[in-house]
Amino acid sequence: MTLVLCVVFIALAFEYINGFHDTANAIATSVSTKVMTPTQAILLSTVFNLVGALAGVAVAKTIGKGLVDTNAITMVSLICALTGAIVWNLITWWYGLPSSSSHALIGGLCGAALASSGGNWNSIIWYKKMMVENPTTHEMVNAGFLKAQGVLPKVVAPMIAAPLLGFVIGILVMVILYAAFHRMRPHTINIIFGKVQIVSAAWMSFSHGTNDAQKTMGIIALALFTASTKSTALDGLPNWLSFLHLPTFEIPFWVKLTCALTMAAGTAAGGWRIIKTLGSQMVKMQPIHGFAAQTTAAAIIESASSLGIPLSTTHVISSSIMGVGASKRLNAVKWSVVERMVWAWVMTLPITAGIGYILMLLAKAVNIH
């Protein structure tokens, strides 16, 4: 019982840190273009992150049962996974690096599961095809790569494809906007996009909620499912705590609401170090550029959320900003800042997996199960 509550508490701590770590994803461009004050931007982001977090569960189910074998999961392994993710998030936040909270959590989860299973690599679901019924023939057919489960289709492929899409689509959106508004005076363009960028910021915040908040929902649901079906951890609970029982894997409403509110609280706390990196150090932007970057990123994230893909919102908005900047000229992007960011992106999965793995080995060594 104590371990279960510990997992829930640490998961919510991760969600809170995720909120202020990834606030920059949604509001950095709005603040840097002076469309909104920092306080206004955080308030808007908090509200729409909350709404987005309540909007679905597809990503939560992927995190909870689509990446690792649930038989390799214990309360202790979840604690190790979450701790690894939190440590890395705090390190990258301290240095102002917009790394991926999603990949930090996934890396920690995979590393802890691997150690928990005694080094069995099959405890990590690499690729698992999904079968669906053909409406015409009523036969079961392969749903395709995008709907498959596992680390390869849900994490590795999107980790490569999403930033590329963000960069390319960001350039295309800016080219279209330049063509449509090139005859207007810059002052008029700034007035127009100063208003519509508020809409794009709201959409970006909403999409962030649909993806990022769901990851912790999946971890908590996995913990409750594991405790309810594989041990006596929840036996003897008082009646008023019966809601902790989860005999089938699902995302209860109280889990959704708690995670949504926790992320909203973290968002309200702000993440100024990363906001500075994304908003001003990488590309100098006007409202039209902020609108293009946010709209590009939000569209990609929404598409991923509908497919249950735990996308890195950080990677997407960062690459979209790069694409928008590169549409003017390549040297408009401060590539030295980008290089630091890319190193953080590349190292997140292996480092958090390593932390999760080592913590789980230590736990086993001192006989904590």
SS3 8: helix
17 and 89 Cβ atoms separated by less than 8 Å:
yes
pLDDT in tens, 32-48: 778 888 788 888 888 88
Average pLDDT, the chain: 84
C-alpha 159/C-alpha 286 separation (Å) is 28
pLDDT of 213 strictly over 80: no
C-alpha 301/C-alpha 70 separation (Å) is 27
214: closest CA among 8, 35, 25, 54? Answer: 54
Q: Which residue has the tokens 């959320």?
A: 305
C-alpha 32/C-alpha 40 separation (Å) is 13
pLDDT in tens, 55-109: 878 888 888 888 999 888 888 999 999 999 999 988 888 887 777 888 899 999 9
Q: What is the dihedral of CA 113, 115, 116, 118, to 10 degrees?
A: 120
Structure pTM? 0.85
